[in-house]
Amino acid sequence: MRTFKMAVALATILCAVVTNAQTPAPTPEPPRPVPAWLDRRVRAEVAGFKGNVYLYAKNLDTGAVYDFGGDEPVRTASTIKVAVMVEAFARVAEGKAKWSDELVLTKAARYAGSGVLNELTDGLRLSLRDAVTLMMELSDNTATNMVLDYLSTDAVNARMESLGFRQTRIMRRVGGGGVSREGQLEANKRFGLGRTSPHEMVTLLEKLERGEVVSPAASKEMIELLKREQGTDGIWRNLWRVPKATKSGALDALRSNVGVIYHARGRIALAVTCDDMPEPEWTVDNPALLLMSRLSELVIDGLGK
């Protein structure tokens, strides 16, 4: 009787294994089709802009994608600081750095533009954590240089390569110096601080949102840093009540913005670059910032569930 019961149990197990093996995995639902009007409206908006526009967007909940030159290599300006942040978090996770490590403000690290450290006294000591926070929340250029002096530009690029990103590269420190191997290539000098594509930036944001960069906990911390960016005058500027995680960049002829908005119609990741503007305008009503705002709301309407 005991042998019979064991045989029955074994048969039951084998039957379950065979059944499971024969049961096909559920087929993921295809992304919702993107309405044809979205491309028409985007092109109509871009047609009136003096410059070039590159955009890639994805609803992370439905998989719906809109692409407008999203694989073109573009100048990053300060959006490359997202890659620098990733390297800092990875280095700490690997035990090769500590958030408490001290960085010292020097004249060589100073660079004007965004941030506050350029106004402070040489010799000021900051933790790595504080420098990264200033780099992301205020886009502090001097803090960025201090972090890059600690990490190195080549290390940032190696990290991007290890994550599967082929376009996203930093070329040097802000303002010059610390030139990476990529930055020494003649073909890359036109990009200035960094190079990426809107598609890669959205993919990086998606990986962060899904907890796939460094670790789920580190990814969440990095998203929280992006949520605290100050001076969000580009994408989704009119939706200031809706949570979003963003990073912006600016040059005389360029405005760049990447981010995720946590909208009722889905988590939508977007990267947009407006470049080659004929004249600089350093106001919140720069034509590129206004265009980004309009495009970002169109993307919600077009890709939202």
User: What CATH number does residue 171 fall under?
Assistant: 3.40.710.10
Of the candidates 84, 295, 292, the one whose C-alpha atom is nearest the C-alpha of residue 178 is 84
Would the pLDDT of 267 be above 50? Answer: yes
Q: Are residues 108 and 246 in the same domain?
A: no
Structure confidence at residue 15 as a pLDDT band (50, 70, 90): very low
- Is residue 139 within a helix (H) or strand (E), and if so which, with residue range? none
SS3 25: coil
What pTM did the predictor assign? 0.89
Q: Are residues 171 and 240 in the same domain?
A: no
Handedness of CA 68, 71, 76, 78 (dihedral sign): positive
Q: Are residues 218 and 84 in the same domain?
A: no
Instruction: Tell me whether residue 295 is in a domain.
Output: yes
Q: Are residues 303 and 210 in the same domain?
A: yes
Q: b or e along 210-219 (b: 16 or more beta carbons within 10 Å of the residue's beta carbon)?
A: eeebbeeebb
Each residue's pLDDT tens digit, 74-90: 999 999 999 999 999 99
Of the candidates 238, 227, 303, the one whose C-alpha atom is nearest the C-alpha of residue 265 is 303
Q: Are residues 169 and 236 in the same domain?
A: no
Per-residue confidence (pLDDT) for residue 46, from 0 to 100: 98
Structure confidence at residue 32 as a pLDDT band (50, 70, 90): confident
Per-residue confidence (pLDDT) for residue 23, from 0 to 100: 55
Structural domain including 108 reads 80-179
Last residue of a domain, one of 125, 145, 179: 179
Tokens of 261: 């908005």
Instruction: Tell me whether residue 283 is in a domain.
Output: yes
Q: Are residues 281 and 214 in the same domain?
A: yes
The rounded distance, in Å, linking the Cα atoms of 115 and 206 is 27
Each residue's pLDDT tens digit, 187-223: 999 999 999 999 999 999 999 999 999 999 999 999 9
Would the pLDDT of 60 be above 80? Answer: yes
The count of domains in the chain is 2
Q: Are residues 158 and 297 in the same domain?
A: no
Cα distance from N-terminal residue to C-terminal residue, the chain: 59
Tell me the Ramachandran region of residue 248: left when phi exceeds 0, alpha when psi lies from -120 to 50, beta otherwise: beta
Per-residue confidence (pLDDT) for residue 33, from 0 to 100: 82
Would the pLDDT of 26 be above 70? Answer: no
